[in-house]
């Protein structure tokens, strides 16, 4: 999610300009990833890392009674 979100987030924060094709990301168009808040993306990353750590600890048998 982070790899897909960062370029979109950066492009929507940059000043809008139109190129030769006349395309630009505006508030009505563009991919839906541009509207994800930073807190949601960061929270998703934290939960993903916690999940991977818990799975690894379970596989290693750490914490088993």
Mean pLDDT computed over 56-63:
92
Q: Convert 17-31 to b/e letters by CB count within 10 Å (16 or more is b).
A: eeeeeeeeeeeeeee
Residue whose structure tokens are 């750590």: 53
Q: Which residues contact 26 (CB under 8 A, 6 or more apart)?
A: 16
More confident residue, 5 or 55: 55
Chain-wide mean pLDDT for the chain? 77
Return contacts of 16-23, CB within 8 angstroms, 24+ apart: none
Q: What is the pTM of this model?
A: 0.60
More confident residue, 20 or 1: 1
pLDDT of residue 18: 55
Mean pLDDT computed over 44-58:
95
pLDDT of residue 11: 78
């Amino acid at each position: 999610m982070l790899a897909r979100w960062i370029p979109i987030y950066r492009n929507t924060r940059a000043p809008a300009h139109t190129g030769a094709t006349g395309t630009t990301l505006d508030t009505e168009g563009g991919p839906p990833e541009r509207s994800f808040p930073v807190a949601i993306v960061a929270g998703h990353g934290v939960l993903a890392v916690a999940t991977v750590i818990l799975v690894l600890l379970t596989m290693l048998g750490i914490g088993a009674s």
